[in-house]
Amino acid sequence: MADSEHLWQWRNDPQTREMSLSTQLIEWPQHHAWFLSVLNDASQYIYIGYFTASTEQNNETAVVPPVDLKVGMVRFDIAKTDNTRELKAIISINLNPLYRGQGLASVLLIKAIETFKQKMFKLNKLGTLHNNLQTNQYNEIGHADTLIITAIIKDSNRASLHAFSKAGFIRDKTPSAQNQERHQLILKLL
């Protein structure tokens, strides 16, 4: 319940709304229903990043457990594709407003992408990536060997454009991705 409430508060933050593709204020019942549906949808994944502080004690580093120091969330929505060699996902990020401007977005993106990649794929003995989804809904994906992650970002959202660029995304220059108000960035993982 606390995660849902934090995501709702971050989502309704004025700066978040201004930079989002969808700018309307979201009411709690609508958000909570959405959150519960995401948790039960095998094609959607939410990762919440925590800030952990370490302290030095007698030349040993101890990690202090997070006390609600949530940095932000990264969401992946798996997209259907006709190409069974590719797994496609749409990515979005939302930082806790307390942690904006500290360079944490790209770190959160990189860690979430690595976790998502490990969740989606496992390496076999030949080094070929195999889809690790367990639901019948995605059995037709077969043995994907490429993960393509797409981010759609408003042109005015320079902070996100910078964070995604630092995380390895490049601008999609295909004609279907061209839009003067939005950038489509892609990351292809083999």
CATH of the domain at 185: 3.40.630.30
- For residue 126, name the pLDDT band (cuts at 50, 70, 90): very low
How many other CB atoms are found less than 10 A from the CB of residue 186?
19
Say how far apart CA 109 and CA 114 lie, in whole Å.
9
Q: What is the mean pLDDT of residues 37-42?
A: 92
CB contact burial 5-39 (16+ within 10 A = b; e otherwise): ebbbebbebeebeebbeeeeeeeeeebbeebeebe
Q: Is the pLDDT of residue 133 over 70?
A: no
Q: How many domains does the chain have?
A: 1
- For residue 144, name the pLDDT band (cuts at 50, 70, 90): low
What DSSP string runs through 10-68? HHTSHHHHHHSSS-S---HHHHHHHHHHHHT-TTEEEEEEE--EEEEETTEEEEEPPSS
Q: What is the mean pLDDT of residues 37-44?
A: 92
For 53, the domain range is: 2-189
Q: How much of the chain, in percent, has pLDDT values that exceed 90? A: 52
Residue 182: per-residue pLDDT:
79
